[in-house]
Structure 1
Amino acid sequence: MPTWVMWLAVALVVVAVVSRHLRRSRAETLLDEHARRRTGGAPTPVSVWREANRLFRAGEREGLLLLAAIGRELPRRRQDVVDTWLAALRGGVSRGLDSPWRTAVQRELVSHLRPGDDFWPGMDVPAAGAILVDVDLSGCRVGRVDFTGAVFVGDARFSAMTVTGEASFDGARFLRHAVFTDALFARSVSSLSAVFTGNLAFSGVQVAGEARLRAAKVSGRADLRRAEFGGPADFAEVFFGGRALFGEVVFHHDAVFSRAWFRGRTDVGSALIGEAAEFDGVRFGRRVMR
């Protein structure tokens, strides 16, 4: 190996170590100074946590930053921090759905769920009943996700997202487009009775376990081309209002479409079903492309 290459590698390692040390020092300084100012004495983990939560609930950005600093310094509290942020997204409607505060909370949350310098691995996303505005979780890597009854205002993006635990979107409402292109669900995914007002982009998605979309409603185009379902797929009673594209979809297990309604044009060219297929009571509003 040339000498200059060796020295370059050493320099890069030194820069990475120094950068990490500086980030940690800034976080420690923020926590220490804030705790001393608020408590008048030496900081304690309990006092800092309580003060951070109080400021955050009051809608102050300082509370958001303090919680992030706690998560950086104390990995065991990271899930608590994520839960606190998500709890805030369940309410706060009086501040306005597109307020800078809500956007700031979402941005801070996503920065720790997407692999990078500030990534917090293994985080669950318990967001049942949350209201999210133009949320973009593309490329994030998380554990279990629960968006049961959540409302997505604007586009919701989950492209290339990796979910290692169970995923639930039951009863969720997507008020515009929902983009799941190339997402990976390592276990099951459920969207029972979910409402997709715009288009549903599900192309290239991989689901290792069961996929449950029973009674979901897709008003726009449903694009499932090249999706792959490792377990049973339940599309019974689903309403497809626009074009339904199933080209090159692979169902390794049963595929159930009983009483589904395909109102627009339907393309099932090259779709493969490994086991049983149920189409009893299916309605087609227009021609089916094979």
Structure 2
Amino acid sequence: MIGVMPTWVLWLAVALVLVVIVARHRRRARAEVLLDEHARRRTQRETPSPVSVWREANRLFRAGDREGLLLLAEIGRELPARRQDVVDTWLAALRGGVSRGLDARWRTAVQSELVAHLRPGADYWPGMDVRAAGAILVEVDLSGCRVGRVDFTGAVFVGDARFEAMTVTGAAVFDGARFLRHGLFTDTLFARSLSMAAAVFTGNLALSGVQVADAAQLSGAKVSGRADLRRAEFGGPAGFESVFFGGRALFGEVVFHRDALFTGAWFRGRTDVTSALIGETADFAGARFGRRVMR
């Protein structure tokens, strides 16, 4: 006859069962944590980091892949802090386009994407600087764009270079630039200073209707074609020292709020200064005139 199980044995059995259940529960919970961690790491690997996206976009872009061009534009839209980097990357691609044999269609696509973000509109990126010192640019057209600082020091412009009705809120520098055809700046607003010292214009220079809020410096520049500055307005001193005007020089209705310095300038063609206004000093010491001057 089986006797009654002692109470302590019963409690011991219950305790053992509870220990087994708790151990299994802990193992299951740990396994679930490991699975979750594995899934998280796998997801991180599958979702590229911002750095890897930037590198991939640059790799595709340098290879001439339109996907890289569009991916860079998307990065700029999503990350405003990277917009200047994107603009610099596009300008770097346009730099040296002739010597590197940059395909005309690809160059046009890059330039169109650049202008789309520099010209006020639905996809406009405000405050972008245009850094293109030493660049070789073909048929560049930034007309109507609104940018910050502009630096084209030593740049070479192949074909017409258009900057018409452009707004530059920072300093604009074209020192030593070479325009192999026409330089068109009609109705452009320079909210600060403009410098075109020693710039060379093989064709015409159109500065009609231009407004320069601060100093304008064109000393040593050479204009082989017509120089049209009619209705231009200079808020600061304007320096035209030793400028060579090979064709007609049109200064009709120009307003110089401060000094207008033409020391040593050479006006080879006909010169027209009809209704020009000079607020302070007008200096023509040593200037030469090849043909008659209309006053």
TM-score, length basis structure 2? 0.83
For 1:238, give the aligned amino acid.
V
| Residue 42 of structure 1 pairs with residue 54 of structure 2 | no
How far apart, CA to CA, are the structure 1 residues paired with 2:158 and 2:98? 12
Q: Deviations over 1:103-155 (max 9, x none)?
A: 21111111100011111011000011111111111110000000111111111
* Residue 177 of structure 2, aligned match among 168, 172, 183: 172
How far apart, CA to CA, are the structure 1 residues paired with 2:228 and 2:102? 28
Contact 2:222 2:245 in 1 (8 A): yes
Correspondence 1:68-83 to 2 at 5 A:
68-83=73-88
* Residue 140 of structure 2, aligned match among 135, 151, 167: 135
Correspondence 1:9-24 to 2 at 5 A:
none
Q: Deviations over 1:152-182 (max 9, x none)?
A: 1111111110000000000111111111111
How far apart, CA to CA, are the structure 2 residues paired with 1:86 and 1:149? 15
For 1:207, give the aligned amino acid.
V
Q: Deviations over 1:245-271 (max 9, x none)?
A: 000000001110000000000000100
Per-residue deviation, 1:97 = 5.7
TM-score, length basis structure 1? 0.84
Per-residue deviation, 1:226 = 0.4
How far apart, CA to CA, are the structure 2 residues paired with 1:262 and 1:94? 35
| Residue 52 of structure 1 pairs with residue 57 of structure 2 | yes
Q: Deviations over 1:216-244 (max 9, x none)?
A: 00000000000000000000000000000
How far apart, CA to CA, are the structure 2 residues paired with 1:232 and 1:240? 20
What's the secondary structure of 2:81's corresponding residue? helix
| Residue 197 of structure 1 pairs with residue 169 of structure 2 | no
* Residue 222 of structure 1, aligned match among 217, 220, 227: 227
Per-residue deviation, 1:100 = 1.4
RMSD: 1.3
Gaps of 5+ in 2: 1-43
Gaps of 5+ in 1: 1-38
How far apart, CA to CA, are the structure 1 residues paired with 2:202 and 2:224? 5
| Residue 118 of structure 1 pairs with residue 123 of structure 2 | yes
- Aligned residue pairs, count: 252
* Residue 162 of structure 2, aligned match among 153, 157, 163: 157
Contact 1:82 1:109 in 2 (8 A): yes
102-111 or 138-147, which deviates more:
102-111
Q: Percent identity?
A: 83
Classify 1:94/1:40 alpha carbon distance in 2 versus 1 (closer, same or farther; 3 Å). Answer: farther
Partner of 1:61: 66
Per-residue deviation, 1:40 = 6.7
For 2:204, give the aligned amino acid.
N
How far apart, CA to CA, are the structure 1 residues paired with 2:226 and 2:102? 26
Correspondence 1:179-258 to 2 at 5 A:
179-258=184-263
How far apart, CA to CA, are the structure 1 residues paired with 2:51 and 2:102? 32
Contact 1:97 1:133 in 2 (8 A): no
How far apart, CA to CA, are the structure 2 residues paired with 1:215 and 1:166? 19
What's the secondary structure of 1:93's corresponding residue? coil
What's the secondary structure of 2:46's corresponding residue? coil
Contact 1:98 1:133 in 2 (8 A): no
Per-residue deviation, 1:95 = 4.6
Larger Rg: 2
